[in-house]
Amino acid sequence: MSNSNRQGSFRVALTGDSIISRRITATHDPATKELIQLIRDADVAFTNLEVLPNDFVGYPAARSDGAHFAAHSWVLDELREMGFNLYSCANNHALDYGVEGLLETMRQLANRNMSYAGIGRNLAEARMPVYLDHGEGTVAMLSCTSTFFEEQSAGEQRVDVQGRPGVNPLRFDIVYEVTQEQFALLRGLSHDLGLERQRQEFVKLGFAQDPKDPAILHFVDQNFRVTSPLNAYFRAAERPAVKTAPSAKDLEDICKWVREAKKRADVVIVSLHAHEQGESRERPAEFITMFAHRVIEEGADIVVGHGPHLLRGMELYRGKPIFYSLGNLIGQNELIYKLPADSYKRFGIDDWNTLTPSEVFRIRSQDGKKGFPSDKLYWQTVMPICQFEAGKLSQIEIVPVALTHGDTPYERGRPYLAKGRKAEEIMDKFRELSLAFGTKITNGFVEL
C-alpha cells in the first residue's frame, strides 16, 4: 500500500487459546453475545487455534503434551461465525494426530480460504507469514512455538529430499548456573557414574559434539538416551539460576520473514505459543522477552503470546505492545469428543476400552478439585483491541473476559464479556502483571 493510501483506521482484536469443541454462537447469554459482537466489529480478529479441526483424521501421536486435541472440522465455521479471520496454528497440539492429521487440518483451513500461519509442508512454508487484506489496510501475521516435541517441528526442504510437515519452531538454549561447589559435585558425579566417558565415546563416533563453551558441563546419559533421562548443561556462577536464550538460527530465520512482512503490510503481528515460565507461572521465561524485543526491532508491530492458559502481563517496547500471554479464550478441553488410548495412558488410566472421555477428565481433575477446573486464573483473560491510524498504533483498549466455570464440564469454557466485580478483578490482575513491565493501564486503556 502506498503512503498516499494509508489513511485508514482499523481495529485489531487479539485473543489467546481457542480450545473449542462445542458451538459458542448458539448461546442466548447476552454477555457472550456482546463479546462476539466486539470481535465481529474488529477489522482483524486473531485467535490461536489450539485444536486440530481434522475430523480425527490421522494417527494419534505416541506422545502428546496433554490430551490429544482433535475436533470436528465445523469448529472452523464456528470461529469464523464468531468473527475471527486470523489464526495462528503453531502450538504443541498441532501434530497430535501426526503428519496426516496436520495435513488434513491444513486442507480444512484452505478449503475455507482461512488466513493461517505457523504450520506447513516444510520449514519454509511454516516460517512464512500470512497476509490479510481488509478495507483499510493489510495485516501480516507470523506464528511460531517454543513448546513442542522435536519431531513436531517442520523440516527443511532439500533439492533431493522433501521437507517434513510440522510447526514453525522457536528453539531455545538452557544453561543451569550453579555455585562452584555444586559444579564440582556435578562434574564428579558425571565422572563417577561413567556418563562423561560415554559422552566422549559418542563424540568420537560422531553422534555428539562437545559444547562450544569449554566452561559448560554437558551432564547427559547417552546410554539410555531413548528414554530421555539426563540431558542438561551446567555452568559455574555466583548463585544458582536458570538462563535461557532463543536459538540463534531459529531467531534469525524468523526475523528474516518479519522483515519481509514489514515490506508488504501495514501492521505485522508475531504470534508465539510458549508455556515456558520464569520465576513463576505468570512470568515469561527469559528467552521469550529476548525474542519479543528482537522481532519488534526487526519490524513487528504486535507480539501476541499464548500457551500457559493463564494471563501474563504486557510490555510496551519501543512503543509496540508485547502481550506475554492472553490465556484461554475458549476452554472446552474437557469436551474433546474422543480420545485415543495414548491420552488415557498419559493420565495414568489403563482401562481405555471401558471408560469414556468424560471419565478421563473427571479422574484427571479429581472431580474438579485439581488442575484447570480448580484454579480461577485459567478462567480469566483479556481481549486487547488495538486501534491503528494510517498504520500507526493510536490506542489499546483492554476488554476483560471471563469463561463460564460451572460445576459440570459441559458448562465450562464459554467466553463472555466480564462486568462488575468480575471485570474489576480481571483488570486489577492484568494491571498488576503489566506494571511489572512498566506498563500502566488506566480506565481500561493502555497509557502509550
Q: What is the third-level CATH fold of 3-158+267-446?
A: Purple Acid Phosphatase; chain A, domain 2 (3.60.21)
Q: Which of 301-310, 361-370, 374-383 has the lowest mean pLDDT?
A: 361-370
Over range 153-169, report the average pLDDT.
96
pLDDT, position 228:
64
How does the average pLDDT of the chain come out, rounded? 94
10-65 tens-digit pLDDT = 999 999 999 999 999 999 999 999 999 999 999 999 999 999 999 999 999 998 98
pLDDT, position 7:
54
Yes or no: say if 379 and 13 are a contact pair by the CB < 8 Å rule: no
Please give the model's pTM, rounded to 2 decimal places: 0.94
Q: Which long-range contacts (CB under 8 A, 24 or more apart) does 71-74 make?
A: 71/20, 71/21, 71/336, 71/337, 72/337, 73/108
Residue closest to 104 by CA, chosen among 71, 77, 130:
71
Q: Could you tell me the pLDDT band of residue 3, with boundaries at 50, 70 and 90?
A: very low
Residue boundaries of the structural domains of the chain:
3-158+267-446, 180-236
pLDDT, position 258:
98
Does the structure show a pLDDT above 90 at 208? no
Yes or no: say if 360 and 347 are a contact pair by the CB < 8 Å rule: yes
Does the structure show a pLDDT above 90 at 372? no
Most confident of 90-104, 226-240, 355-369: 90-104
